[in-house]
A and B are shown apart, each in its own frame.
Chain A
């Protein structure tokens, strides 16, 4: 089978064992990723984004209650592979992961160039010379000056450490890279520089990305598609150029309305209430208890409804189509308006 970097997840589940019962962190997730495209996975803290990454790569903790579903990579269901085969043919080789907060997990006593080289040697038969050349190449792609190859992690800024971690993921030339919050801990300028480098890699090498983040603004830097996760499930998925201007699901709409915009900022909204427990999620639609548009039907779990333009939304309002769904959400909500910037008077 040709190595394309095409990924299809079908009904992926990952439940953890806990004292209170199974934690339904990934609960029936289906997603498609085409070659050279990027899908952004958005959602609030604890909704299961990192668990999804772990499930795709089978990097599982000990307390797994249930793990199942299909992961089709270039036409082959890799869930059926033995662990040995999966490690040799898939993990890091075809699909790599930049784990959340990985830059804090670099080995402090090993030079970063060496750490990248090790990531490479484990997975590909290469001579020392080839390895060195490859390490230099990935560092260059990420705009890390060559003399940094011989530095120790503590000598580097956060931005450079994060680049080193991304270099480790890219070293073996995977067709798909999963980025779990790759820039969240970094400054704005560093963030923008790293996003520029990732865009270039995507464009020039046709690498596909799954970009996990809770930062909606940054997600738009790479995303061709957007998938919104809520309580372990994908509640909306679709093209980025349709999603950003006009999200469909009541949760997505509120999420987008809570994002401050630097240019032309209007009022900000927030979602009242707490995110649900994943041990004992609400029956039916999981967003129902926080949704201002919920009705009788929402007690039943909604399927993913499809719109004419190929988007999917898990909400009963869309049973009669896209127009009807949007029309049902016209009711205005309270917002936090930008501040009047005239300061208090000098004289009391």
Chain B
């Protein structure tokens, strides 16, 4: 169908539950880390997934990467259903999707030098020609601005600064020319200035290769610089999806609003005022609250509704979805 020409990836009711066993074998429920997530991603589009620690962002990333096999729902990539992938298609898929994992310090093997680290994925994916390997390694390093290339080829990860390590991780993720990049907290461990440098780099790469990007972060303030759309995740569910501008300037979901209120821009007045944020803790993913998962912390919760029935996605304005009963159409 013509309207799907540009669709890169889609997830429908995606679910990733981890079984929990007591004493190692007695089934004792499940951690519902991803629980009914649906979204679409177009070619060349950057979408950010934001949410609190433990809400399931990394699990979503690993499920999209086929590291976990989803316990429910489906993923399609370039029109093909992942469940039906042959092992050959799976190898193709792994080449098409680059991954920048959370924690750059754990991501790089300490005993390999830069050259080895970048050569490895080429070998694994059947780039045998030495000449071509060398060219692609050098191009990769140039692309992430680890230049002059000769200075870096022989270095080991511990000889690189945090920002340089992260650039190397990115070079490795894009060396096979993927169509989609999944970047899990690519900048959150870095100093502000280095963070800007890396975001700038990612944006250039994204433009140059018309790359789809799924940018996972808990840092809402960088999202404006890096994404077309935002999806806000709470306790395994997407609670709001919208273009960046619409979401940041006029958020709908009470959780999104609370998040935005919690972020301090550096203003001296902050020290003289208290921040209006809900107390309480993110809920357990084994026994999530009934109805809307945010209702125990929500100041607008409607008694008799929010704790009973899970809200569907309402569309208060074009291209803006929110899972909150406050937006139900009368």
Contacts and interface: CB of A to CB of B under 8 A. Distances in A.
B271 A38 contact: yes
A182 to B, nearest CB: 14
B43 A348 contact: yes
B327 interface: no
B193 A44 contact: yes
A193 B277 contact: yes
A343 B267 contact: no
B25 interface: no
Nearest to A261: B265
Q: For the side of the interface on B, what is the size category? A: 35 or more
A contacts with B: majority SS: loop
A245 interface: yes
A274 interface: yes
Contacts of A192: 261-262, 264, 275, 277
A342 B228 CA distance: 6
Given A262-B260, A262-B263, A270 B220 contact: no
Contacts of A338: 224-225
A259 B192 contact: yes
Interface stretch (B10-18, B71-79, B278-286): B278-286
A191 interface: yes
A220 B193 contact: no
Interface in A197-250: 199-200, 214-224, 240-241, 243-245
B279 A193 contact: yes
Nearest to A270: B196
Interface in B1-53: 2-3, 5-6, 42-46, 52-53
Given A341-B229, A343-B243, A336 B222 contact: no
Interface in A232-289: 240-241, 243-245, 254-256, 258-263, 265, 268-271, 274-275
B194 interface: yes
A341 B48 CA distance: 12
A263 B265 contact: yes
B275 A44 contact: no
10 contacts: A187-B218, A189-B277, A217-B263, A219-B266, A260-B196, A265-B225, A341-B244, A341-B246, A345-B6, A348-B43
